[in-house]
Amino acid sequence: MIRMGMLLGDRYEILEKIGTGGMSDVYKAMDQKLNRNVAVKVLKQEFSENANFVSKFLVEAQAAAGLMHPNIVNVYDVGEEDDIHYIVMELVEGITLKKYIEKKARLSYKEAVSIAIQVAMGIEAAHNNHIIHRDIKPQNIIISREGKVKVTDFGIAKAATSNTVTSNVMGSVHYTSPEQARGGYSDEKSDVYSLGITLFEMLTGRVPFDGDTTVAIAIKHIQEPMPSPREYVEEIPVSVEQIVLKCCQKAVDRRYQSMGELIDDLKQALVHPDENFVQIVDPDETGATRLVMEEPEEEEYEEEENIGFRTSSMNHTGTMRLRTDRVPEELLEQEEQEEIEEESKAEKVTFVLMLVAGIVILVLIIFMIFQILGFFELPLGNSSSSSVTQEAESEEEETQTVTMIAVVGEDVDTVTASLRALGLDVAKQYEESDTISAGIVMSADVSVGTILNVGDTVTLTVSAGKEGIAIEDVTGMLQDEAVTLLEQQGFTVSVTESYSDTVEKGYVISQNPEGGQTVSKGSAVTIKVSSGSDESTVRVPNLIGLPIGDCETELESCGLVLGSVSEGYSSDVAEDLICEQQYGEGSYVDRGASVDVTVSLGEAPSTYSYQDSIEAPTSEEAPNYVSGTSVQIALMSDSGKTLYSASVSEFPVTVSISGITSSTGTGTILMTYTYDAIVTEATESTAAVTEKRTASFERTVTFTKD
């Protein structure tokens, strides 16, 4: 099982999961030996347990690892560790052609042709190494952030179709060639057909054949004529239309016979789009011999229910028939006749091959005998220099050159498409201009007529107009696509990340300044990119207004627990409902964290205060009071609660009380003091006798409402 941080092959450190498919999961990893990021494609468990599939898969991957081309997602390494089978590939940050088409609805013919040229160049390199892709479709074509088009998954389709694998591994039947739909042998011309279907989709935004079931679509590839892309988009040039139709001929020998031929016509279509120069030759009409497709014995096609194919009859050549319960009977009869003819031809071809092999072996034996007897001497001394010379010549042949075209005064999008079609990379920088309209090329760092190598970079200086540059709205785009677009406009881009439950990981949530605003070239633009929803953290829900029981249930459903519960007054939330929560709604906390809440006691009662000076008793209140006498003071509320109590002998007394809850706003001062009294004896003689007596009186006071 793959874990973040684990090390595969003592070399590749797994960093994060970046994608998944029907057959594998893809992870971003760090190659610690070369200190670079790579993509690691790991087979899913159900395929790892199929030894036959794994064997073929690794063989095909190792073959693909020999491919090195700018338009191919290069395979670096293949490995196996603890039943984990993986392929290490070039990490290309960008968007699939499928998503690019969906985003733009359809592409202009110049952009579509430019992309098709780059795809064809990558496939041509594979064909030159005897590797057939077999699954060309927009999902397997990536447009990098630099605008480079790359083809991925070479060799994987062959491994998939050679074993019992469901259709989600094989890919979409929308792009399959007629010979593949029949279950027959596929070669370079099958890739030509699939690329033609892909070009059709780029031009029109749809596939030519569709249906309710995959079998119905497969039959359409076999039987129905190819529709013209101009039926859906009238402005498509005639040359581009004819290129698509030639790619998608039912008969393999009427298609382009190599990717090189297709590339030549695609380049000519960019220069002369309205000329009808595409030639579709019918071998039957010219007397040529039709090509016979041989079936390799080692490839078996077993049941693939999801795309409607089933092995109802299998002969020794590996030919597979379509399901008899879902395919027209006439088609089956036609296929049976073709199988008989192909078996006879295959036997003849086998005999010829065996005869040739016998002759070659005989010649080798004779040569070895003469070598031993000394009749021949090999020029061993010159072999090294000869090999070096051949390698140098080969490298010279592989280095392709192109001539720089005129670009000044042209629209930047048109120029970019034309340069990329020539195999050149394009960089852009923007400058404000009072005289040249925005989007027009002002200059290039390479002059017209200069000889360049394929892959060289041409830097264009583009007018931003006189009012600055209108920022593209990149909200909802992939991060790399957004950064590339903004940088090409001349902006400095900074990226921040934020978790989001609504925006998919890697896509832009927002930008500042917003799209459409006009600012000066070189201005800073900040984009916020989604990190996805963090599985280790939980988004806190809104608990305000819930009863305590519902609050606990809501927290548990989110992976959180109820913490301490306190009480407090609230003027906004009714009594016995949650009025406060520890973390705000939408904030993220660790899964399993506790959340403290406060339950409302309802609206807080009114409070009052008393701040005044209490004066000494008056003669009316206490006729016998003498200044300096000790007096006990008590301030009471109407409810009988003692608010203040003190024993004083000096007046006035300052009192300050707050938080009084009495609603009447009045209180009572109770004063108690002692005084001397004169007592008369019973003998009627009066004598001065001191006696302590107590007297009290009350005052009414008013409280002030807070």
List residues with catalytic annotation. Answer: 135
* b/e sequence 155-171, b meaning 16+ C-beta within 10 Å: bbbbbbbbbebebebbb
Residue type present at position 584:
G
* DSSP assignment of 307-338: GTEEEEEE-TT--EEEPTTTS-HHHHHHHHHH
- Beta carbons of 628 and 595 less than 8 angstroms apart: no
* Residues facing 650 on adjacent strands: none
CB under 8 Å to 260, separation ≥6 — which residues?
A: 124
- How many other C-beta atoms can be found within 10 angstroms of the C-beta atom of residue 659? 9
* d(C-alpha 120, C-alpha 382), whole Å: 39
Angle at the Cα of 57 from the Cα atoms of 56 and 59, rounded to 5 degrees: 65
Tokens linked to 611: 């701040």
- Beta carbons of 412 and 460 less than 8 angstroms apart: yes
* d(C-alpha 424, C-alpha 416), whole Å: 9
Q: Which of 84, 96, 94, 99 is nearest to 25 (CA)?
A: 84
- Beta carbons of 141 and 149 less than 8 angstroms apart: yes
* b/e sequence 424-439, b meaning 16+ C-beta within 10 Å: bbbebbbebbeebebe
- Beta carbons of 94 and 190 less than 8 angstroms apart: no
- 3-class secondary-structure state, position 182: coil
SS3 letters across 113-155? HHHHHHHHHHHHHHHHCCCCCCCCCHHHEEEECCCCEEECCCC
DSSP state of 698: E
Tokens 């006035």, located at residue? 652
Tokens linked to 651: 């007046």
DSSP state of 542: P
DSSP H helices, 186-274, are: 188-204, 214-223, 238-247, 259-271
Tokens linked to 418: 């034309």
Residue type present at position 567:
E
Tell me the CB-side half-sphere exposure of residue 160, using CA atoms within 13 A. Answer: 22
SS3 letters across 659-682? EECCCCCEEEEEEEEEECCCEECC
* DSSP assignment of 426-458: EEEEEE--SSS-TTBEEEESS-TT-EEETT-EE
* d(C-alpha 282, C-alpha 290), whole Å: 9
